[in-house]
Amino acid sequence: MSILVDKNTRLLVQGITGREGTFHTNQMIAFGTTVVGGVVPGKGGQSFEGEGAIVPIFDSVREAAEATGANASIIFVPARFAPDAMVEAADAGLPLVVCLTEHIPVLEMIAVRAYLDQRNTRLIGPNCPGLITPGGAKVGIIPGSIVSPGHVGLVSRSGTLTYEVVYALTQRGIGQSTCVGIGGDPIKGMDFIDVLRLFEDDPETSEVIMIGEIGGNAEEQAAAFVREHMRKRVTAFIAGRTAPAGRRMGHAGAIVEGKSGTAEGKIAALQAAGVQVADNPDRIVEMIS
């Protein structure tokens, strides 16, 4: 089994004709994802010719969902359009929306998150690499060549560390059930706890890797959830141990103010919950082998 996406995923691509949308749609199709439609306002009735597939394009998500039976959407549109794109996908009744777009203003994401919370729509992102189920579906930009089917679930705030750890797992012959990049923005959709809960309930996921970063308190909250609710082994890594206090480190969420959001505090909370914490990414694979 897997979580969130599998061979039954029927994907819409919002922004399919843009440069990023075109490239990554081809990559997703080549991996085996069932891409059933694209959405580009004003281009309805046209087609996207991809990797051995011809994908119809629609003017709206609702029209596309009704015509194709889509159950997920991925968003490749600029930041100024992304909030409306997420809301449109939720209004169309899609149960899963993945938004890769960076630089969406926090105030706009607060409004989007509040709106989606009123609907039965799961959001992954924004500012994330998406997710991938080996042998099932790739919804995002995680390279399909580095994954392999197995029983280790992975959830991460960091895109590049996701790739590094997944590749190391595959090289050691350790397969993955699903790999989920939730993104590092302070206001986003699914968080660590949401994904950990799904992995805990998935009978085909035997253990979980969690990759966190400095900033915010999501890792401390996840530690409390692990202590109270998880029976499966969790191995973690926290990036940013050497980051100076008060300096922004790439992501809007990766900033340390005083004693809040430090790597040390997150590590202590995880270890107190029984989570084994690696001191560098390479050690993660060794600790679960």
Residue-range domains of the chain with CATH? 10-124 (3.40.50.720), 142-288 (3.40.50.261)
278, containing H or E segment: none
Question: In DSSP terms, which residues pair with 213 in a beta bridge?
Answer: 239
40 pLDDT above the threshold of 70: yes
The pLDDT of residue 261: 78
> Is the distance from CB of 142 to CB of 4 less than 8 angstroms?
no
Average of per-residue pLDDT across 273-283: 93
The pLDDT of residue 195: 98
Distance of alpha carbon 190 from alpha carbon 65, whole angstroms: 22
258 pLDDT above the threshold of 70: no
Residues 6+ apart with CB under 8 A from 50: 25, 26, 29, 35
Q: Are strands 47-49 and 233-239 parallel, antiparallel or unpaired?
A: unpaired
H-assigned helices in 32-132: 61-68, 82-91, 106-117
Q: Letter for the amino acid at 239?
A: A
> Is the distance from CB of 129 to CB of 181 less than 8 angstroms?
yes
- Is 151 an active-site residue? no
3-state secondary structure of 49: strand
Distance of alpha carbon 112 from alpha carbon 107, whole angstroms: 9
Distance between alpha carbon 200 and the CA centroid of its chain, in Å?
Answer: 17
209 pLDDT above the threshold of 50: yes
Exactly one of 24, 151, 229, 251 is catalytic; which is it?
251
Q: Letter for the amino acid at 99?
A: C
Distance of alpha carbon 67 from alpha carbon 58, whole angstroms: 9
Kindly report the average pLDDT of the chain as a whole number.
93
What is the pTM for the complete model shown? 0.93
